[in-house]
Structures are given as C-alpha cells and as structure tokens.
Chains A and B, each alone.
Chain A
Amino acid sequence: IAGITQAPTSQILAAGRRMTLRCTQDMRHNAMYWYRQDLGLGLRLIHYSNTAGTTGKGEVPDGYSVSRANTDDFPLTLASAVPSQTSVYFCASRKRGGSTDTQYFGPGTRLTVL
C-alpha cells in the first residue's frame, strides 16, 4: 500500500441498507477525515479523528458514524442509507505538526443510494 486506499471504488445500494466504506493509510498520519463531495458544493466534512481512539463530528455528521481503533484505519458507516447520501466520499489524512499540515486524499468511493 502506498498512501491512502478506499474501498469499494463504487457501490449501488438500496435505501435502508447498512454500508461501511473502508479507508486505510500507511503513512502513519495521526489525523484522518471523511468528506462528501456533491456537484456545486465544496467538500463537506462528515467526521474526523485527530488521533487513534478519538473521533469528532464535522459539518454534516447525521446518518454517519466512524471509529478509529488504530492509526491506519478509519471506516465510515451508513447505518440506514437514504437517497440524499448519494455522493462521492473521500477519505483524507494529515500528519499533525508538519510545516504545512497538508491533507492527502484517497481515490474516493462513488456511492449511489436508490
């Protein structure tokens, strides 16, 4: 693995189903983020984690949950998917304390909820 990986690449899901989007990084970054990107809108933060064992809510957390059991993995779960959760989901990570604190992004998961 090099950088950040996400799985699946894309998914079509029936409304009401539970879904977990996976995110793994091998850069030993302590901070990780989940964003959604919708046409005409900027990236919106769903949840974040500043370090393993801690999580926080972003701008649009409703309907989503996360966990951070270790440094590398940060899964995002939709407990009961709704059509408004159709979006492209990006996971990102950041090494806190660096000179620019740049966020690095995974390739994204395209989710369609019908």
Chain B
Amino acid sequence: GQNIDQPTEMTATEGAIVQINCTYQTSGFNGLFWYQQHAGEAPTFLSYNVLDGLEEKGRFSSFLSRSKGYSYLLLKELQMKDSASYLCAVRDSNYQLIWGAGTKLIIKP
C-alpha cells in the first residue's frame, strides 16, 4: 500500500530552527511537495523536490533522498506566523498526490 508518515505535532521556540521529517512508500515517485495549512484555511504550496538534494527558499528549505524515501522541511528563524500544519505529499505513478496527515507546528514565544 501507499503510506506517508510524518510526526503529528512538534513544538519549537520563536527564532529557532525546526526540521519536520517525512518518510514515504508509494507506487512510483514523480516528486514530493510540502504545503502549509493554517487552521481553518486551505493548504498553500511551499516547495517541490523531484531530485535528491536541498532546495532553499528564503527561511524554508526542503531536502529529498529518493533512495531512502525521505524528505524534510527545515524552517529557520521561526516566527509566530509559522504556527500551522505542514503537509507532505508524494506524486505517484498515476500523477496523483498521496498526502500525509500533516504535522502541527506550535511556536512558543
């Protein structure tokens, strides 16, 4: 079966760095996405990885290792507005997105 695993909840301090991990087992791989979802809102796109390595976008970076079925999202210089759920999704061989349950990130002052 297809499976995406990520921690349910994480807590971090404002100004710090946090890493959210995602492991996956899917039928085929055509890219991995990270989305941010604030409570009561729609998911919004953060990053996309299809090749191994690190993609950096300002305070956010995403890493992929296809051989290990592993990705992480790194958030630096945390701000209170980063409190949200972070969703990992893999595009499978049918070009559909398989979603993890999301990691709720709580930022404390």
Give A108's nearest chain B residue, CB to CB. Answer: B42
Interface, chain A (partner B; CB < 8 A): 40-45, 48, 58, 90, 100-108
B73 on the A face (CB < 8 A) = no
Determine the distance from Cα of A43 to Cα of B101 in the docked complex, in whole angstroms: 7
B26 on the A face (CB < 8 A) = no
- Which chain B positions have C-beta within 8 A of A101? 31, 91, 95
Contact A90 B42 (CB under 8 A): yes
Contact A48 B102 (CB under 8 A): no
Pick from A42, A105, A107: contact of B100, CB below 8 A.
A42
Contact A104 B41 (CB under 8 A): no
Contact B42 A107 (CB under 8 A): yes
Contact A107 B41 (CB under 8 A): yes
Given A101-B91, A102-B33, A108-B42, A40:B101 Cβ within 8 A: yes
Given A42-B87, A42-B102, A43-B87, A105:B44 Cβ within 8 A: yes
- Which chain B positions have C-beta within 8 A of A90? 42-43
- Which chain B positions have C-beta within 8 A of A43? 43, 87, 89, 97, 99
Contact B45 A104 (CB under 8 A): yes
Give A100's nearest chain B residue, CB to CB. Answer: B48
B96 on the A face (CB < 8 A) = yes
